[in-house]
Amino acid sequence: MTLTGNLLIGRQSLRGTHGTLHAIDAATGTELEPAFGGATPQQLDHACALAWQAFDPYRETAPGRRADFLEAIAANILALGDALVDRCVAESGLPRARIEGERGRTVGQLRLFANMLRQGDFLELRVDPAQPERKPLPRPDLRLRQIPLGPVAVFGASNFPLAFSVAGGDTASALAAGCPVIVKAHPAHPGTSELVGRAIRKAVDDLDLPEGTFSLLFDAGLEIGQGLVADRRIKAVGFTGSRAGGMALMAIAAARAEPIPVYAEMSSVNPVLLFPHALASRAEAIGTAFADSLTLGAGQFCTNPGLVLAVAGDNLDRFLQAASARLATLPAATMLTPGIHRAYCAGVASLAGHAQVQTVARGPAGSATQGQAALFATDAAAFLADPALRHEVFGAAALVVRCRDLAEMRGVIDALEGQLTAALHLDDADHDAARAFLPALERLAGRLLVNGFGTGVEVGHAMVHGGPWPATSDGRSTSVGSLAIARFLRPVCYQDMPAGLLPASLCPDSPQRHSWRVDGKLPGCAG
């Protein structure tokens, strides 16, 4: 399984000739072989041309065939075995068990969408039968299905080298929808990207799918990623990363002759609300669990709990003591890249030096590439006075905001920008207090969770991993779970179309007929 450092453009493994990039061993800071060649604008154009050619034939493959494709990708990823895990551990600095778990999640996501395709009801089929006798005018026959938007650009994420990169959630949902995908690999894990890209490539070949169904590009700078979003043949973008990066892609997409949707998952501090009775009864347990969640994966999760809100007092102090004690036992962990490590250290230093912020605890110090956990505290007045305190510090750092009372805590919530998650720790006796917060929290976040933390995002049908700006660029969407497919679909109506020309799913003898919504009514019993 030798890495080539080549681009995958359609069926070809091609050397990029527009600069080079190397992976860095995250733990040691040394360069890893081989050199990866950056794509030229001509190679980008070639990949886009192939994706466009593939779009019409690929989108009309039977859903069952696309399900086979996704399952073949999953099998091919597993077949890479330790070669994939070893390379991914080296490039990301993440522990082996985490990478194995993430591989399981990646494979699980692909299979979830495969199951959904076999079930067939993601098409949201609707049929309003003709009423030729209606007065004053007959009603035409109207049939609606969802079709894919077109080729999708996916940007690999630094913090999920498998589950949100080459064959991650964006790719899986786009391929399931019927969209060809061009991945711009994250420069921090090009070797992992090549291996996974080849797993996809093999599945394309084995299932004899259109050549341009998938391509993988490396970018030695920013030009290829930007050019990908600007290309007229690309019709949507999936991105997980920084706010600045997401906004740059949004600006490019909005400035096109044909603007396109960008699904960017950008930043979130994921407020954790500790309600008084829960804090009184379980401060130590919550504090310990909080420290575990904060440091998971060196804190490099979009759903990392970066902000804690509670009423000041002895019980909050108990929480802080327990969290501090736990943090002291959790070793520093290697961060994904030197750049992320530098940004984390700068963010921590900024909080530590803030006149209104107290350093409550630090985790054990580590090596020069490891992130040392940090727990800070301030009060609500200071938090509200300085918007800089609301910014995400990507890594295992959190800020606890001491509030005078629940009313002030509510004021802090109202001052926050959109979030991926909000966690509520509560006992039965807290229900009335919590209920008063729910409307504001629903407006704030895509997921509200009780007596837990946002890390560990379940991949299911009812999951939302999204949220109002700036958590994501489009708060109407989720990037995790089966509903993620909706991002890449648009409705088309067929009016008075003869059966011989209708898409198979809308024909009178359609196998998906059981899932039709007829005259607006949900499908129900056959009888």
Measured CA to CA, the distance from residue 190 to residue 185 in angstroms comes to 6
Active site residue 302: yes
Question: 3-class DSSP state for residue 330?
Answer: coil
Beta-sheet strands, E only, within 213-347: 214-217, 236-240, 262-265, 271-274, 307-311, 333-334
Please tell me which residue in 91, 194, 211, 265 is annotated as part of the active site.
265
Q: Is 428 in the site for a copy of itself (CB under 8 A)?
A: yes
Contact (Cβ atoms closer than 8 angstroms) between residue 223 and residue 41: yes
Question: 3-class DSSP state for residue 417?
Answer: coil
The site map against a copy of itself for 130-149 (x = CB under 8 A) is -------x-xx-xxx--x-x
Tell me whether residue 353 or residue 521 sits nearer to a copy of itself (CB atom): 521
Tell me whether residue 11 or residue 139 sits nearer to a copy of itself (CB atom): 139
Q: Is 172 in the site for a copy of itself (CB under 8 A)?
A: no
Tell me whether residue 188 or residue 506 sits nearer to a copy of itself (CB atom): 506
Contact (Cβ atoms closer than 8 angstroms) between residue 21 and residue 337: no
Question: How remote is the C-alpha of 429 from its chain's centroid?
Answer: 35
Question: 3-class DSSP state for residue 89?
Answer: helix
Active site residue 442: no
Tell me whether residue 182 or residue 422 sits nearer to a copy of itself (CB atom): 422
CA–CA distances in Å: residue 86 to residues 186, 216, 271, 434: 17, 21, 35, 45
Q: Is 409 in the site for a copy of itself (CB under 8 A)?
A: no
Which residues within the stretch 44-83 sit at the binding site for a copy of itself (CB under 8 A)? 56, 60
Measured CA to CA, the distance from residue 205 to residue 193 in angstroms comes to 18
Measured CA to CA, the distance from residue 462 to residue 411 in angstroms comes to 30
Altogether, the residues listed in the chain come to a count of 527
Please state the closest distance from residue 422 (CB atom) to a copy of itself, in A.
10
Longest dimension (CA), the chain: 79
Please state the closest distance from residue 423 (CB atom) to a copy of itself, in A.
9
Count each helix (H run) and each strand (E run) in the chain, helices first.
14, 22
Please tell me which residue in 48, 88, 179, 302 is annotated as part of the active site.
302
φ, ψ of residue 317 to 5 degrees: the values are -65, -40
Tell me whether residue 18 or residue 235 sits nearer to a copy of itself (CB atom): 235
Q: Is 258 in the site for a copy of itself (CB under 8 A)?
A: yes
> Which has the closest alpha carbon to 301: 394, 428, 167?
394
Please state the closest distance from residue 443 (CB atom) to a copy of itself, in A.
7
The site map against a copy of itself for 462-501 (x = CB under 8 A) is xxx-x-xxx--xxxx-x---xx-----xxxxxxxxxx-xx
Which residues within the stretch 149-168 sit at the binding site for a copy of itself (CB under 8 A)? 149-150
Size of the site for a copy of itself (CB under 8 A): 82
Which residues within the stretch 385-404 sit at the binding site for a copy of itself (CB under 8 A)? none
Q: Is 461 in the site for a copy of itself (CB under 8 A)?
A: yes
Q: Is 508 in the site for a copy of itself (CB under 8 A)?
A: no
Q: Which of 67, 116, 196, 401 binds a copy of itself (CB under 8 A)?
A: 116
Q: Is 95 in the site for a copy of itself (CB under 8 A)?
A: no
Burial class (CB in 10 A: 0-12, 13-18, 19+), 145: buried
Q: Is 366 in the site for a copy of itself (CB under 8 A)?
A: no
Q: Just list the catalytic residues.
A: 265, 302
